[in-house]
Structure 1
Amino acid sequence: MSNEQFVEYENLMKGRPHLVILGAGASIAAIPNGDKNGKQTSVMWGFIDKLDMRDIIESVSLKTTSENLEDIYSELDSRTDCDDVKRILESRIMNYFSEFEIPDEPTIYDVLLLSLRKKDCVATFNWDPLLLQAYQRVIRITKDLPKLLFLHGNVAIGICEKHKSVGAIMNRCPICNEHFSPIRLLYPVAKKDYNSDNYIKDNWNAISHYMKRAYIVTVFGYSAPKTDKEAIALLKNGWGEIHDRNLEEIEIIDIRSEDELVKSWDEFIHSHHYGVFDSFYKSTLGMFPRRTCDAMFDRLMNCKFLDSTKGLRENMSFQDLESYFKPILEEEAIHKGGFSID
């Protein structure tokens, strides 16, 4: 390969997307002390009590003894005599998540969005509005932000069914000026149908595209549950066979053990091409924000020793973040890609 060919290849690789997949653990990390009003988010286990649904659920004598919302909802969904209870549960879920307000200070979601560029993508399984609320305020710092995908729907997103336009739930359709209607949430049945709703189907088609093209995939707080086989199969279909992904990297941000995490994602990991981190700030996103694919290529292909001490710090204010990203954004205004990491 000539020098010119290598430079062209380098720019191509560095220009590939970085895909970030978010699960419940990411929202928990975003508001570890609760939202603006102290409201805590949580995983699905024991969630019925948070919704104040215990008495209503017990009134229908479920066969399952599980405390997991997915198991409870799945049984309700399978029984026609539980339709009224299921509708109450769906309404409670929508209302519960709609009440979340992002804290005034920066969260992990603010920092995550600023750490990526327009070529990149953040796909979330979460219903809460925190990611979109973060997006709506960091866009004041830069409009060059990643695409957002909501794989199970989201309480902050609305749709005009007539004109197929989508936006923040408080907005109006730009064509007919009617208020958006809430999009459908994909509730946790054991066997999910990702084709039953056009909006959710479009989001899954999009993530498949990003899985195919991604240089780095970061999984943040998503447990890859064995019960959601349809989701894992769709992700795997986009990613392909691991022997064909020998240049790409999987990064996992989670507090669970490395052995457990690698076992969960072994269908996606080629050999040693992975990293496990217990903090966002230790990952490539935190150490080389907006230059993640550039840093990965320089480290693996250019064999550079990279200085990770210049990365983001915990507890940065919005003023700190603006100052930190100012020279990075100025460099992007001059050079459109293929950045070299010092």
Structure 2
Amino acid sequence: MSNADFPARMKAVEITKDADKPALVVGEIALPDYGPDEVLIRVAASGVNRPDLMQVAGMYPPPPGASEIPGLELAGEIVAIGSNVTDWACGDKVCALVTGGGYAQYAAVPAAQCLPVPDGLTMTQAAGLPETFFTVWHNVFDKAALKTGETFLVHGGTSGIGTTAIQLAKAFGAKVIATAGSQEKCQACRDLGADVAINYKTEDFVEQVKAATDGKGANVILDMVAGDYVSRNFKAAAFEARILIIAFLRGPKAETNFTPLLLKRLTLMGSTLRAQPVANKAAIANALREKVWPLIEAGKIAPVIYKTVPLDQASEAHAILKGGAHIGKVILEVD
């Protein structure tokens, strides 16, 4: 496709520079340049994630060289390819993980971070895949090596990460326990495949995990809460369990007794995905394409979409995530 087939400028959502009250504004900017190993994608939809909210608040700046425009995942059509790209062609429908730039009509993306839109999914659905599926696969299966027959505990079971983690862990043979903040959300977790759903507002998740595992505890714990959950995760963990912290909804600081870490021979891990090298993300993409995409195309796993919002109303999408009532992903649809 030639340059004449797409405009020189595009609509994009930017973050105002007012430090007292940063906000999202829609403007018009030049299309991004794409390098020899990248593709240019005409964006159809972009997923909204909590790191986007953190970026607006000034707490999660993009890595050096990344787009200042928020948005970590998208789906759309390739309209131009770099000189080194051989795996993709103009016209291909893809979804992709990006380090920024998703809230726009066009985005430059490393070709290695693209995946085909799974058969049977719309662009809107596909836009809800990359950030959560890359994150869950990297943490739960690569780093923690969750095995068939093990018990997996995920906090925030109805978040985008949570709904993905429940489905993936169940699909690969784990017993799944999820925490959520209401009976409705607990039922949603069970509907997605969770064997046990715990209302953390009315139940002690440590006691419930112990009860559900005959006192043994969970083998792998995926935590987006941190804060006082750090100590409680130690108590809920089985011997030689792996605990992964990927966000800090209750703050990045905790006071805890580390004795269980030693006595239970626990492994405590943390990670972020955004700043990792393209090669790392490419390896995750290849694993997803081989092991997970067939499950999506077979209808065994699906992204959970809570609401779609026009790109011009990105602030409303962020308000939905801040409110916390959502179950699954919020997606921006791009004209």
TM-score range for the pair, normalised by the shorter chain length = 0.3 to 0.5
Higher helix share: 1
**Given the two structures, how large is their TM-score scaled by the length of structure 2?**
0.32
TM-score (norm 1): 0.32
